[in-house]
Amino acid sequence: MKEILVCGVANSANLGDRIIAETVNYIIHSTNELTQIYNFDLTDGKVRDFDNKSIIKLNSTGLLKQLTPDYMRRLKVYRKYKKNRGLETELKKSVAKADLIVIGGGHLLIDNYLNFPIGISNIIKEARLNNIPVIFAFVGAKGPWSKTAKKLLLDALEYADYISVRDSESRRFLVSLSESLSNKVVTLSDPAIFVNDMIGDDEKNTHTKTTKIGLGIMDPNVIRRHSKYRWSREDAKIWWVSLAKKLSARGYEVNIFTNGASTDNGFVEYFIKKELATVEKVSFLDYPTSYKDVLSCIQKQDVVIAQRLHACLPSISLMKQTFGLVWDIKLKSIYNELGLSDYIIDFNEEVDIVINKIINKLEQNHHLDTQVIENINVRKRELLDFVKRGVGEKD
């Protein structure tokens, strides 16, 4: 039996990252049942098998944090890894028993003050020492990279036998850094399109006459770290509150949820709840403590409007009409490649324009277009073929 170490950030408070890990595991098992999979969080060690605590806490926006220079942030991360002997020991044990290492999926090829670059580099070092092959599967990539991050990540990519990214923008960025990657990196999609296959139909939405619309809300301050877009908490509050009120006034049942990140919970708790507490047909779902909670929230909706990619993609996989609120190139790129450009909405648009767009779609069809479904199925076959090449099929 082949033992496979799957490395990502499954212990993240953003439960979308655990959805990624679980769907990667599912894809591997689908291609070869004779595998033993171990999951490892490259920043935190062994993946927890218990639920997170529900934490409500807004990320700081203080002046001191804004003025902290990047080199000091990188130094802090470097020291954190250096001091974490437990993480180092756990990594050595995990790598030593593996026949293959899969790094992915998720937005891992980024320079978040060297956090992911160092974590990935540590895995590659151990893989080299133990002569263990590595593949990068379904990852996202985005710049800018610092000089150190570029050295660490390009070295890791050079060592890998196979590399797949989840969208064409990620591939374009990597090839711009090293032309040698042009024949090695393939564009596929995100593993979360397998959510429907993974969880089945155990919790179908109970059909009612009232259409249920789920609003998956994210703290807009997260945008600052990943995108050129800017959206203040106050402006985001006004936009979301207006959207919820106007949808409920039209007779829709509105359910508000998050992906479990503490700062998303905090934004909903301190900015959104008080504005909508007395509005009829608007409900606040419990903050999730496991990836299963997130998927359950999504399953119960007829339509989803969300910001986080891994609120959108599970909903799409479940064949729900899913409107993605664009805030990063990764969401826009993946939507376009699945044929879902009509479902991209922009927070710079007036709420009435967005509502009209949504209603027009609902009046046309309550399901995804046949071509979109075919696009998803094609991508699924491509993901499975990639894993078959990298992992090997059942003998």
Task: Provide the pLDDT for residue 59.
Answer: 86
Task: Provide the pLDDT for residue 67.
Answer: 73
| Mean pLDDT calculated for residue range 138-164 | 97
Asked which of 284-293, 294-303, 346-355 is least confident by mean pLDDT, the reply is 346-355
Token couple for 202: 């155990």
- Is the pLDDT score of 171 beyond 60? yes
Task: Provide the pLDDT for residue 367.
Answer: 80
Q: Strands 35-41, 2-8: parallel, antiparallel or unpaired by DSSP?
A: parallel
Q: How many helices (H) and strands (E) does the chain have?
A: 17, 13
Q: Strands 45-46, 35-41: parallel, antiparallel or unpaired by DSSP?
A: antiparallel
Check if the beta carbon of residue 160 is closer than 8 Å to that of residue 134.
Answer: yes
Give the residue, 228 or 296, on which the prediction is more confident. Answer: 296
Give the phi and the psi of residue 107 in degrees, each rounded to 5. -85, 70
Check if the beta carbon of residue 244 is closer than 8 Å to that of residue 277.
Answer: no
Percentage of the residues of the chain whose pLDDT score is greater than 70: 95
Task: Provide the pLDDT for residue 202.
Answer: 52
3-state secondary structure 257-281: ECCCCHHHHHHHHHHHHHHHCCCCC
- Where exactly are the structural domains of the chain? 2-196+376-391, 202-373
Q: How far apart are CA 378 and CA 197, in angstroms?
A: 14
The helix or strand, by DSSP H or E, that contains position 234, with its residue range, turns out to be helix 233-249
Task: Provide the pLDDT for residue 207.
Answer: 57
The domain over range 2-196+376-391 is classified in CATH as 3.40.190.80: no
Check if the beta carbon of residue 153 is closer than 8 Å to that of residue 108.
Answer: no
Task: Give Cα separations from 296 to 22, 133, 219, 232, 239 (angstroms).
Answer: 15, 36, 21, 30, 26
Task: Provide the pLDDT for residue 80.
Answer: 95
- Is the pLDDT score of 251 beyond 90? yes
- Is the pLDDT score of 226 beyond 80? no
2-196+376-391 and 202-373 in the same fold: yes
Q: How far apart are CA 173 and CA 141, in angstroms?
A: 7
Give the residue, 208 or 199, on which the prediction is more confident. Answer: 199
Average pLDDT of the chain to the nearest whole number: 93
Check if the beta carbon of residue 58 is closer than 8 Å to that of residue 16.
Answer: no
Asked which of 112-121, 202-211, 336-345, 367-376 is least confident by mean pLDDT, the reply is 202-211
Task: Provide the pLDDT for residue 14.
Answer: 95
8-state DSSP, 329: H
- Is the pLDDT score of 203 beyond 70? no
| Mean pLDDT calculated for residue range 309-328 | 94
3-state secondary structure 1-61: CEEEEEEECCCCCCCHHHHHHHHHHHHHHHHCCCEEEEEEECCCEECCCCCCCCCCCCCCC
Task: Specify the fold of 202-373.
Answer: Rossmann fold (3.40.50)
Task: Provide the pLDDT for residue 230.
Answer: 80
Task: Provide the pLDDT for residue 209.
Answer: 78
Question: Which position has the token pair 């009829």?
Answer: 280
8-state DSSP, 180: G
Is the link from the previous residue into 105 a cis peptide, with omega within 30 of 0? yes
Task: Provide the pLDDT for residue 201.
Answer: 62
Q: Tens digit of pLDDT for each residue in 78-112?
A: 999 999 999 999 999 999 999 999 999 999 999 99
- Is the pLDDT score of 350 beyond 60? yes
- Is the pLDDT score of 395 beyond 80? no
Q: Tens digit of pLDDT for each residue in 37-71?
A: 999 999 999 998 888 889 999 987 665 666 789 98
